[in-house]
Structure 1
Amino acid sequence: MHKPGRVVSILLGISMISLLGFRTASAQAAVPVSKENVTKAMRAASEFYRNKLALHGGYVYYYSLDLKERWGEGKASPDQIWVQPPGTPTVGMAFLSAYEATGDQFYLDAATDAALALVYGQLKSGGWTNSVDFNPRSKLTAEYRNGKGRGKNNSTLDDGISQSAIRLIIHVDQAHKFQHKQIHESAQVALNALLAAQFPVGAFPQVWTGPVPQIPAKPASFPQYDWRTEGRVKNYWDCYTLNDGLAGYVCTTLLDAYEIYKDERLKQAVLKLGDFLILSQLPEPQPAWAQQYNYDMQPIWARRFEPPAITGGETQDVIATLMRIYRFSGEKKYLEPIPRALAWLKRSQLPDGQLARYYELQTNRPLYMNRSGKKYSLTYDDSDLPRHYGWKITSEVKELEREFKAVSAGRELKTEPTPKQLLIRVKAILDDLDDQARWISVSTGERLVGQPKFPVNTRYIASDRFSSNLETLSQYLQQQK
């Protein structure tokens, strides 16, 4: 990191002509790509985002252009920010990348504000739920460590919620050289809670309120009962979970934390997670993974539209995670399950090249749901699927095979864009910045994360776009060094 230099904030009320130096309100001319123009664009866009959109340092997913409406998963209250990506942690990490690329204290201050917003909403159980409400009288609060909330104490790993919060806080802690008392304490509480939430077998639950039960390890197996109607677990979130990329999110968090704190417990937690992934692979004819398991290591129901099944998405996430754990540990046992799983993915692709979210246990038939009112029924027919859920996913088999060959040969796969590719992206980002320093998104009628469909041509501001663009511009500056 560069030594931070204190830079006086430029108020958004100043003319955007002088602020950007290359754009006028009346003309949207192409912007030349240069270090100076990139730096100015980053600062202008970040000034707008922090000064106009931040609430106590935190953010939601989407904003209307007049800033009167805010959305997370659904409409956000006036006092609410979102933890779940692409909310506050996503924006905060982008600010950190900008700080590392520029050394500008403004970005560290913005990232610190975001981290402190998360510290406010940290639960007594050590993690986070999907949002934080700063109104102590609101019904949307949870049981915060600071005593200013009420409600549930359910720390969750669903959708990367606690993981993303932890990652931002530990990286901000590192940026402050562990001298920011509130942030450092929050980081330690969160990591201790995460370690306590790991089962002896190495798995994690979707939700925890305290240490998990000590249950003996068992290898994965198929249920010996009618999985369609039996074996439902009411509190499935207390069981072994892989749903929504949990393994990858947790692995990233633990690896980052180990790199920062060099705590041997974190290293062992990574290895235990890898051991669980090996053990939870189902046997032939489906050597892959399920979304969640009971304590006998059998696939179980979750929500009423999430049946016990082999899942394409979780299988891809587990394969990628096992390769990361191998790179970290050098232990070849973490590669051993992968060839069988890749072969299963290849033979399970749908005619259009996609993967089904669910495959029926043992038969491997793609499994879907029909919906009538609140009632769901299992089907093999994909012609009338409920629209609130992703029943098919993109196959990443070729990419995973390529990475596996590289890992097995001891080679690193180049994942960074070439200078030419990065230049093209940067030019588009600069050209898309409007005269108010905003990147405006336009709905094409697609279903956005956590939202019903916005009407076609709805114009809005999106945290994921801001964060992605800021990360790309930061990457460009780093490359120029």
Structure 2
Amino acid sequence: MMRNWSVALALSLGGLIGLPASLRGEEPPLRERIAGALRRATDGFRKEVATEGGYLWRYTADLSFREGERPATATMVWVQPPGTPSVGLAYLRAFEATGDPFYRDAAREVAMALVKGQLRSGGWDYLIEFDPKLRARYAYRVDPGPGGKQNVSTLDDNTTQEALRFLMRVDRVLEFQDQAIHEAVEYALGRLIGIQYPNGAWPQRFTDPLDPAKFPVKKASYPDSWSRTYPGKDYKAFYTLNDNAISDTIDVLLEASRVYHDPKYEASAKKGGDFFLLAQMPEPQPAWAQQYDADMHPAWARKFEPPSITGLESQSAIRTLLEIYRETGDAKYLEPIPRALAYLRKSRLPEGRMARFYELKTNTPLYFTKDYQLTESDADMPTHYGFKVGNGLDNIGKLYEQLRTRGPEKQTAEPTNSGARSRSNKPNSEQAEAVANALDSRGLWLTEGRLKTQPPENPSRRQIDTGTFLKNVQILCRYLESSRP
């Protein structure tokens, strides 16, 4: 009898040993707790925060008020980062780190929200509306009927590009078998190529291709004169480097070439690079402007964006030329870089940063006062815009020398996530554990503060911030990758 009891006990203990630590009444190992936190956070964001699979930028803790770049309703989601596609990329990141199809399914849910928000013009607006009555204002590609009048896709602020980048990566993860997602990608890529100007540039916003005869291929040049006061002209058809619109578009097309192995995508990206060659200004300022008119003169955009040479987008133009060279091996994309770097280095501000704007020909740094008067003084600048920007010239110069010396390096398809990963970047266990422990009972991370557009009568001082979600998911994923057995 005693022997039978001993055998039963041994079998029972053996069964317990095979159970997860949490079911044995023990605290699970840290890796198990981190994996559980990542799943709870994803589940909480999907169930508590999502609208039709999409997301905004910030929410009050009780979800009573929400916003993207501006106040939003419960039927809106935001495309412009860090909105819906950014969250989708985080879910793909989690799928890559864990292999758990739960995260792949979460990413597909986000992808379908973007499919429903794709415009007939081919890209995306800053937001997607899901209220049936309000959707009727928009020309959404998947909706029946003639569609509404709002059909303007935007390349501003990486909006259409990030949506397309995410959809391409989901398409690849799903092995190109989801017809709705695959068709949305093909349609968007086709429209991007279709609205490209003869000189290789893109407009900031688009509906249909414009008359190519109105946009002759020319090299950039200085205007005979330019107005110091804002003329208020429509600039959406201008060749636009501002906020990296063209650089982000080229980046997406290069990735499309890697994912789909179709030469037309690389050809379009190279044509975009050819525009950067044409758009480089002649001496004494061999860099780039934020935007150009059809005569290839630097031009006004918004009331605080004058015709000028830009210290920010010029750096992005060089990085893009380096990336095109890396992908194609065509040395013509390296040719403009040495003189551009030499000019930009001479243009550094005394504190080492760059001015966003340099006056044409004189190279005097330009700023604006808070009431938007053009000035050479930085004493009274608006705070909503970067009139002084970072200086990445040393890193750009090193990359140029590396590529010039080693030659091009054809890239493989991108990982599913959008952020570069490094083992040296891995979080320590305390950081990952702190992030995991910070989840509330709903599986959400709360931060202190009020929303930027929150009305005074709303008392909430805690918020759900999408940027925080993205950052914390990265921390948990890096820990899981670095701690694999």
- State the TM bucket, normalised to the shorter chain: 0.7 to 0.9
Q: Does 1:167 align with 2:191?
A: no
Q: Letter of the aligned partner of 1:423 in structure 2?
A: P
Provide the C-alpha distance between the structure 1 equivalents of 2:346 and 2:39, rounded to a whole number of angstroms. Answer: 49
Contact 1:64 1:460 in 2 (8 A): yes
Which residues in structure 2 correspond to 1:316-355 (within 5 Å)?
A: 316-355=315-354
Contact 2:122 2:188 in 1 (8 A): yes
CA positional deviation for 1:478: 3.9
Among 428, 438, 442, the residue aligned to 2:444: 438
Name the structure 2 match of 1:423.
Answer: 427
Among 47, 54, 57, the residue aligned to 2:50: 54
Provide the C-alpha distance between the structure 2 equivalents of 1:312 and 1:199, rounded to a whole number of angstroms. Answer: 25
Per the alignment, in what secondary structure is the counterpart of residue 461 of structure 1? strand
Q: Does 1:99 align with 2:95?
A: yes
Q: Does 1:152 align with 2:150?
A: yes
Which residues in structure 2 correspond to 1:245-256 (within 5 Å)?
A: 245-256=244-255
The CA deviation string for residues 191-212 of structure 1, in whole angstroms up to 9 with x for no partner, is 1111111112111110111123
Residues 187 and 39 of structure 1: CA distance in aligned 2, closer, same or farther (over 3 Å): same
Provide the C-alpha distance between the structure 1 equivalents of 2:309 and 2:22, rounded to a whole number of angstroms. Answer: 57
Provide the C-alpha distance between the structure 1 equivalents of 2:262 and 2:421, rounded to a whole number of angstroms. Answer: 33
Q: Specify the structure having the higher radius of gyration (Cα).
A: 2
What's the TM-score, normalizing by structure 1?
A: 0.85
Provide the C-alpha distance between the structure 1 equivalents of 2:407 and 2:476, rounded to a whole number of angstroms. Answer: 28
CA positional deviation for 1:309: 0.9
Gaps of 5+ in 1: 1-16, 24-30
Name the structure 2 match of 1:241.
Answer: 240
The CA deviation string for residues 419-460 of structure 1, in whole angstroms up to 9 with x for no partner, is 354133x642431341423333345x9x97x9999x9x9432
Which residues in structure 2 correspond to 1:57-96 (within 5 Å)?
A: 57-96=53-92
Name the structure 2 match of 1:310.
Answer: 309
Q: Letter of the aligned partner of 1:419 in structure 2?
A: R
Residues 332 and 480 of structure 1: CA distance in aligned 2, closer, same or farther (over 3 Å): farther
Residues 18 and 194 of structure 1: CA distance in aligned 2, closer, same or farther (over 3 Å): farther
Q: Does 1:288 align with 2:297?
A: no
The CA deviation string for residues 225-278 of structure 1, in whole angstroms up to 9 with x for no partner, is 234359x58331112111101133112211221111111110101111111111
Residues 430 and 407 of structure 1: CA distance in aligned 2, closer, same or farther (over 3 Å): farther
What's the TM-score, normalizing by structure 2?
A: 0.85
Which residues in structure 2 correspond to 1:393-412 (within 5 Å)?
A: 393-410=389-406
Name the structure 2 match of 1:217.
Answer: 217
Q: Letter of the aligned partner of 1:211 in structure 2?
A: P
Contact 1:93 1:168 in 2 (8 A): yes
Residues 22 and 73 of structure 1: CA distance in aligned 2, closer, same or farther (over 3 Å): farther
Contact 1:207 1:237 in 2 (8 A): yes
Q: Letter of the aligned partner of 1:243 in structure 2?
A: N
Provide the C-alpha distance between the structure 2 equivalents of 1:411 and 1:200, rounded to a whole number of angstroms. Answer: 29
CA positional deviation for 1:466: 1.4
Name the structure 2 match of 1:301.
Answer: 300
Q: Letter of the aligned partner of 2:446 in structure 1?
A: I
Name the structure 2 match of 1:113.
Answer: 109
Name the structure 1 match of 2:474.
Answer: 471
Q: Letter of the aligned partner of 1:381 in structure 2?
A: S
Contact 2:65 2:454 in 1 (8 A): no
Q: Letter of the aligned partner of 1:266 in structure 2?
A: Y
Residues 88 and 201 of structure 1: CA distance in aligned 2, closer, same or farther (over 3 Å): same
Among 189, 193, 196, the residue aligned to 1:195: 193
Name the structure 2 match of 1:11.
Answer: none
Contact 1:205 1:237 in 2 (8 A): yes
User: Mean Cα displacement is larger for which, 152-161 or 177-186?
Assistant: 177-186
Contact 2:368 2:374 in 1 (8 A): yes
User: Mean Cα displacement is larger for which, 134-143 or 275-284?
Assistant: 134-143
Contact 1:320 1:400 in 2 (8 A): yes
Provide the C-alpha distance between the structure 2 equivalents of 1:22 and 1:423, rounded to a whole number of angstroms. Answer: 25
Q: Letter of the aligned partner of 1:228 in structure 2?
A: R
Provide the C-alpha distance between the structure 1 equivalents of 2:252 and 2:137, rounded to a whole number of angstroms. Answer: 25
Provide the C-alpha distance between the structure 2 equivalents of 1:238 and 1:423, rounded to a whole number of angstroms. Answer: 45
Per the alignment, in what secondary structure is the counterpart of residue 467 of structure 2? helix
Name the structure 2 match of 1:14.
Answer: none
Name the structure 2 match of 1:389.
Answer: 385
Residues 105 and 141 of structure 1: CA distance in aligned 2, closer, same or farther (over 3 Å): farther
Contact 1:133 1:140 in 2 (8 A): no
CA positional deviation for 1:480: 4.9
Contact 1:206 1:237 in 2 (8 A): yes
Per the alignment, in what secondary structure is the counterpart of residue 369 of structure 2? strand
Residues 370 and 111 of structure 1: CA distance in aligned 2, closer, same or farther (over 3 Å): same
Contact 1:233 1:300 in 2 (8 A): no
Would you say how many aligned residue pairs link Structure 1 and Structure 2?
446
User: Mean Cα displacement is larger for which, 312-321 or 96-105?
Assistant: 96-105
CA RMSD of aligned residues (A): 3.0
Q: Letter of the aligned partner of 1:439 in structure 2?
A: W
Gaps of 5+ in 2: 1-20, 410-418
The CA deviation string for residues 162-192 of structure 1, in whole angstroms up to 9 with x for no partner, is 1011111121112222111211111111111
Contact 1:22 1:37 in 2 (8 A): no
Name the structure 1 match of 2:6.
Answer: none
Q: Letter of the aligned partner of 2:262 in structure 1?
A: D
Contact 2:125 2:160 in 1 (8 A): yes
CA positional deviation for 1:126: 0.8
Contact 1:97 1:471 in 2 (8 A): yes
Among 160, 173, 178, the residue aligned to 1:180: 178
Which residues in structure 2 correspond to 1:359-370 (within 5 Å)?
A: 359-370=358-369
Contact 1:89 1:168 in 2 (8 A): yes
Contact 2:319 2:396 in 1 (8 A): yes
Contact 1:133 1:141 in 2 (8 A): no
Provide the C-alpha distance between the structure 2 equivalents of 1:427 and 1:417, rounded to a whole number of angstroms. Answer: 19
